[in-house]
Amino acid sequence: KKITIAIDGFSSTGKSTVAKQIANHLGYVYVDSGAMYRAVTYYAMQQGFIDVNHFDIEGLVANLKTIDIRFKFNNKFGFAEVYLNDMNIENDIRTLEVSSFVSKVAEISEVRQKLVEQQKQLGKDGGVVMDGRDIGTVVFTDAELKLFMTASAETRAERRYSELIERGDAVTYEAVLKNVQERDYIDSHRKDSPLTKAKDAIQIDNSNMTLQEQFDKILELVNV
């Protein structure tokens, strides 16, 4: 039977890397729910609804209907890429700038409603691995396997920093750490479905685990 796997946790806990591997191994669909919040944020930046000085929440909410988010599988890379109104934005949404606004956009109830509904649709037939902040607590409360990934803020910032440097982005470790800590705070304090571990989720602290160890551990949990 194809099950539903919900993986939640703080920013840059390495959820997506292991989630993709598990999905590929099981022949499941992987959905990066954070990419959807990032897509809405990117749209808001493009349309001038958000910048460092202002945030026009009403303007963004009024235009939510015009936002079409889709995932298309890329055979070359072996995972799905995110499209905003038919434009491939997979690379554009991973910048520190998008990261600096995304948690504020994710606080908006109307944004969450829209994305949660689409996420439920994407996973309605099972055989899905979805990662995010509220997958086990809101999106798939009945998921057969729920995981909650944790790691120290420093470990997470180091990982995110290396990713950004590898992409060629000009960032400092301090700025990345600050962003990770800010998002942790906003994500766990917002009034609408704040980030918490679902009661029935299994916690995995991967600070000192290799990717292979995480993969093996999760596969073991899938098979029990």
Binds ligand C5P by CB under 6 A, chosen from 18, 22, 28, 33? 33
215: closest CA among 127, 197, 204? Answer: 204
Question: Taking CB under 6 A as the rule, does residue 30 contact ligand C5P?
Answer: no
Question: Taking CB under 6 A as the rule, does residue 134 contact ligand C5P?
Answer: yes
> How distant, in Å, are the alpha carbons of 30, 83, 97, 197 from that of 145?
14, 28, 33, 13
Q: Could you give the CA distance from residue 57 to residue 40 in angstroms, rounded to a whole number? A: 12
Question: Taking CB under 6 A as the rule, does residue 37 contact ligand C5P?
Answer: yes
* CB nearer to ligand C5P: pick between 27 and 152: 152
CB of 103 to ligand C5P, least distance (A): 4
55: closest CA among 116, 134, 111, 133? Answer: 111
Residues 81 and 90 sit within 8 Å (Cβ to Cβ): yes
Binds ligand C5P by CB under 6 A, chosen from 4, 21, 103, 155? 103
Q: Could you give the CA distance from residue 107 to residue 93 in angstroms, rounded to a whole number? A: 18
Question: Taking CB under 6 A as the rule, does residue 187 contact ligand C5P?
Answer: yes
Question: Taking CB under 6 A as the rule, does residue 183 contact ligand C5P?
Answer: yes
Residues 6 and 145 sit within 8 Å (Cβ to Cβ): yes
Residues 64 and 4 sit within 8 Å (Cβ to Cβ): no
CB of 72 to ligand C5P, least distance (A): 18
CB of 172 to ligand C5P, least distance (A): 19
CB of 223 to ligand C5P, least distance (A): 26
CB of 224 to ligand C5P, least distance (A): 26
Q: Which of residues 42-101 bind ligand C5P (CB under 6 A)?
A: none
Binds ligand C5P by CB under 6 A, chosen from 69, 89, 102, 147? 102
Among the listed ranges 46-54, 77-85, 133-141, 211-219, the one in contact with ligand C5P (CB under 6 A) is 133-141
Size of the site for ligand C5P (CB under 6 A): 14
Tokens 């439920």 found at:
120
Structure tokens at 86: 């038919």
**Strand, coil or helix: what is 70?**
strand
C-alpha dihedral sign at 5, 11, 16, 19: negative
Binding site for ligand C5P (CB under 6 A): 11, 33-34, 37-38, 102-103, 106, 132-135, 183, 187
